[in-house]
Amino acid sequence: MKVLVAIKRVIDAYVKVRVKSDGSGVETQNVKMSMNPFCEIAVEEAVRMKEAGIASEVVVVSCGQQNSQETIRTALAMGADRGILVQSDAELQPLAIAKLLKGVVEKEQPELVLMGKQAVDNDFNQTGQMLSALLDWSQATFASKIEKSDGKLTVTREIDGGLETIEVALPAVVTADLRLNEPRYASLPNIMKAKKKPIDTMSAEDLGVDPSPRLSVVKVSEPPARQGGAKVGSVAELVEKLKNEAKVI
Amino acid sequence: MSILVIAEHDGGALKPATLNAVTAAKEIAGHSDGELHMLVAGEGVDAAAEAAAKVEGVTKVLKADDGAYAHLLAENVAPLLVKLAESYDYLVAPSGTFSKNVMPRVGALLDLQPLTDVVAVESADSFVRPIYAGNALATVKMGDARKLITVRATAFDAAAPEGGSAAIEAVESTGDSGKSSYVGSELTQSERPELTSARVVISGGRGMQNGENFAMLEKIADKLGAAVGASRAAVDAGYVPNDYQVGQTGKVVAPELYIAVGISGAIQHLAGMKDSKVIVAINKDEEAPIFQVADYGLVADLFQAVPELEQELDKAL
């Protein structure tokens, strides 16, 4: 089974983002960028499938600027076989990315597309579901366990009330939740090896997709700051204040 | 202009977040004036549809009752929404794993770009939503004529569950796609209120040390009518199930009182609870970032403080 993994380059999840003073967005200059954490989990799952003999080839794809190549290299160092960069300097929203990925899927003909459930920059949580719809494939979102059997996958999903297990016919799009696996760190030899792995580049035009944004950001602002930091000296004082000052119990 | 609110329900009753979504829909309607309908899809949903018909402000309930919708599989529900969307300007659903699973699929099928996790309505086409785990707020203008929106329940008041008398209209099933099937589920059974709608939430973190110790928090929860939550660290460590998780990738809560016990306060966790009205933190590490957002911080060993809290609550309540 050929597996395509879609990944995104984002501001590192541990960086405290700063809103630009003109309200046009968040500061991205001189900020550490990394692979979106959920995408790392998707890559890890695909590599484990290859190691288990379930996946025959793992291809990673990223849509974005030239520097998304670095993110693709990270995935190659984790064990993916080759990469594809769909290069675009435009702002890419989930629908546009889903259309670009559909074009890549039609070229590559994978049986399974794995991706993160959401990117930690825009927090949309949409692209996988959209890709599945555009391809008329089955979907399994928020996966915490994936098992393959004949022509189908059994997927455990993290849902609001607990866990749900579904079976999806292949081909399918599956999006990874936090507890699917713990991504590995790439070893130095594998980082070196990844430098020799091929990365193809294509454009939105090559794929016949109009990636124009449908949403326009009017402004980006800081959330209201919380005035915290007060301490109490004892449990008795805490209960007294909750009762008489905050009046919440 | 007309709006269809997609209900979350358990067959018998509406999930509380549905009522918050109705309020968001009313705010949108306030900017665009029109009909407010509600869809109840599932199998055996008569009681939920009747509950929907009583919600104040709802003028019609669409009931899609069919085996194909029993487990709300995205591949089956999306075609239903696509069909119904023709008659509406907005589809509004409470943010949750159900709507996040289905709404983007509907969007792609209709060539529309949905908006997730709306926390404020600015105008008929502009909405505010958090990005970067709530570290920034984006005001976004939607360019598509038809708008698909999921709203964060905690950001809107609940609409009155009584007072309406909408007609219930059955809609035809769009059938089973055959693409996926339901196998089973492990749902957390609890007599306590739902995390996302509870008035009080008490959460434990890695400091709880194991799952058994959460019993201490449950005792407090039962005294306060609270829901029990957890940090990602506590869930990852296997102390409690995944659906306890409060945070960026778990549940977002905004109760009147949030009590964080043994939680350090990673950005990821703060994103899920910092809009709570009053925050209490109990942690033995004075430097824990949770104290920066806490209205009442208590630097103490939780294994002493929590039993003591139970006794003090007995005296105070």
Adjacency order of strands within the sheet including B227-230: B227-230, B200-204, B257-261, B278-283, B296-299
**Alpha-carbon gap, residue B125 to B37, rounded angstroms:** 19
**Count of CB pairs separated by less than 8 Å, A with B:** 260
A145-154: b or e for each residue (b if 16 or more CB lie within 10 Å)?
bbebeeebbe
B119 Cβ contact list (under 8 Å, min separation 6): B128, B129, B130, B137, B151, B152, B155
ipTM rounded to 2 decimals? 0.95
Percent of chain B with pLDDT over 70: 99
B312–A contact, CB cutoff 8 A = yes
Residue B302 CA, distance from chain mean position? 29
Contact B316 A243 (CB under 8 A): yes
Residue A24 carries which side chain, given as an amino acid letter? S
Q: Which residues on B lie below 8 Å from A164 (Cβ)?
A: 71, 182, 184-185
User: What's the whole-number mean pLDDT along residues B154-164?
Assistant: 94
What confidence tens digit (pLDDT) does each residue in B233-268 have? 999 999 999 999 999 888 999 999 999 999 999 988
Task: Collapse the DSSP code of A51 into the 3-class scheme (helix H, G, I; strand E, B; otherwise coil) and give the result.
Answer: helix
Question: Quick check: B149 and B127 in contact, CB under 8 A?
Answer: yes
Other Cβ atoms closer than 10 A to B83? 13
Read off the pLDDT band of B33 (50, 70, 90). Answer: low
Minimum distance, in Å, between the CA of residue A118 and any CA atom of chain B: 9
Picking from B119, B147, B180 by the largest number of A CB atoms within 10 A of its own CB, the best residue to mutate is: B180
Q: Which domains does chain B have, with CATH numbers?
A: 2-170 (3.40.50.620), 195-316 (3.40.50.1220)
Contact B296 A17 (CB under 8 A): no
Other Cβ atoms closer than 10 A to B145? 8
User: What's the whole-number mean pLDDT along residues B116-135?
Assistant: 95
Inform me whether the pLDDT recorded for B116 exceeds 90. yes
What confidence tens digit (pLDDT) does each residue in B93-108 have? 999 999 999 999 999 9
Read off the pLDDT band of B156 (50, 70, 90). Answer: very high
What confidence tens digit (pLDDT) does each residue in B286-297 have? 999 999 999 999
β-bridge partners, A219: B139
What confidence tens digit (pLDDT) does each residue in B186-233 have? 998 889 998 988 999 999 999 999 999 999 999 999 999 999 999 999
Contact B296 A123 (CB under 8 A): no
Inform me whether the pLDDT recorded for B34 exceeds 80. no
Report the mean per-residue pLDDT for chain B: 95
Q: Which domains does chain A have, with CATH numbers?
A: 2-244 (3.40.50.620)
Segments in chain A below pLDDT 70: none
B74–A contact, CB cutoff 8 A = yes
β-bridge partners, B294: none
User: What's the whole-number mean pLDDT along residues B71-77?
Assistant: 98
Predicted local distance difference test score (pLDDT) of residue B197: 86
**Alpha-carbon gap, residue A190 to A62, rounded angstroms:** 20
